Amino acid sequence: MTSSAALKKVLITGAGTGFGYEVAMRLAEKGFEVVAAVEIYGQIQTLKRQARERGVTLQVEKLDVTNDGDRRKALGWGIEILVNNAGVGEGGSTVDIPGANIRHQFEVNVTGPLLLTQGIAKQMAERGIGRIVWVSSREGLNVNPFTGIYS
């Protein structure tokens, strides 16, 4: 079995902004082969430019975790470490949030990442090695009447 220290190819979902962006950049700086996944095509060129400005190389890919085709495509990237970071938060009063928004939030934050993880975890099991990291939020500890269903 290969040592976990040898794992180098990392997929980070939600890498276009925030925490995912910074993790992608820092791992690339440390020599990891980073697949930085963004939700929409419009984010690809921006992220590639930002990586060049920081002097790092990223493989930037469009990956909407709610899209079956995008998840299938990700299975071809040979991922050794999966960082499930993509997420959305629907704020507002819980009693006022439309059902479609609630469903969308669960698709992005729970269902999509779980389905992506199932496929990649099977590949990791076949290889006998891999790591899966789930990024969460502390918003569950900061509940107020307008944090909506996110917390």
The reported pLDDT for the residue numbered 1 is 43
Enter the DSSP assignment of 127: H
Domain residue spans of the chain: 4-141
Structure tokens at 111: 């269902």
pLDDT value at residue 5:
55
Token pair of 50 as six digits: 């930002």
| pLDDT for res 129 | 94
Q: Which residue do the tokens 């819980």 mark?
A: 94
Task: Give the catalytic positions in this structure.
Answer: 150
Per residue of the chain (151 residues), give pLDDT as tens: 445 557 799 999 999 999 999 999 999 999 999 999 999 999 999 999 999 999 999 999 999 999 999 999 999 999 999 999 998 887 788 888 899 999 999 999 999 999 999 999 999 999 999 999 999 877 767 777 777 776 5
pLDDT for 146: 76
Burial of 13 (0-12, 13-18, 19+ CB in 10 A): buried
In angstroms, the CA 3 to CA 93 distance is 48
Q: Burial-class residue 35 by CB neighbours within 10 Å (0-12, 13-18, 19+).
A: buried
Structure tokens at 97: 């949030």
Question: Comparing C-alpha atoms, which of 5, 112, 3, 53 is closest to residue 21?
Answer: 53
Superfamily classification of domain 4-141: NAD(P)-binding Rossmann-like Domain (3.40.50.720)
Q: Using the Cα atoms of residue 70, residue 30, residue 124 and residue 21 in order, give the sign of their dihedral.
A: negative
Can you say how many angstroms the Cα of residue 44 is from the centroid of all Cα atoms in its chain?
14
Strands (E), the chain: 9-12, 33-38, 59-62, 81-84, 131-134
Distances (CA, A) of 37 to 17, 20, 48, 90, 99: 10, 9, 11, 21, 27
